[in-house]
Structure 1
Amino acid sequence: ITEMNIFSSQYKQHSSLLSELEDMQNLLESLLKVVRKAAEITESESKLCMCTRILNKIKVLHIIIIIIILPLYSYASGAYDESLRDVKYRSSVGYTGGNTG
């Protein structure tokens, strides 16, 4: 009977350890999910940053074309007129060419 009591108490201790191990396993799985989600967010942010950099470069190229290249081309071709000045003005005030009304 004494051996049975000892075995029973060891089983209870072992059972308790199993519960703790399961809790630790659940915790590790949760942490892994969090790390994966963080990696996904980081990847998305990285893509967004790259898109933003590309968009900024496109804006810079647009400004270069409107402010520098078009006037030089127009001057060289002798076609610098009111319409080009209108294009420069629309660019400077942020006109995108869409309907405003």
Structure 2
Amino acid sequence: YQGRRGGTVHSVRLSVRPEPGSPERACRDIPEKGLTCEDLTLDDGMPARVYRQPAEGRTGTEVSLRYRSGRSTVALSVSPAPSGAGGAPVTAGDLVRVAQSPRFR
């Protein structure tokens, strides 16, 4: 998908896949790759995880949110525009608000 903020178009990915059945790996930062990981809880008590990492082949940071819903894992990610314009497309808080929205659920 594409999302527009102001005049800048960003890449938006939504993925819903069957739950892998194995426990999720520990949330950890990997400073040498610029990856940060943060565990949080959505308003309905659902555990979620936010990742931030440098966007591959682009200037800026990709922000991703993952959580389990039923027997599926939901992932929502937003990458900066290919031109690098517009800086960070969204914050982790923006993705959490989307995931908690009744329109999204």
TM range (shorter): under 0.3
Using the size of structure 1 for normalisation, the TM-score is: 0.22
Higher-RCO chain (CA-CA 8 Å, sequence separation at least 6): 2
Using the size of structure 2 for normalisation, the TM-score is: 0.21
More strand by percentage: 2
Higher Cα radius of gyration: 1
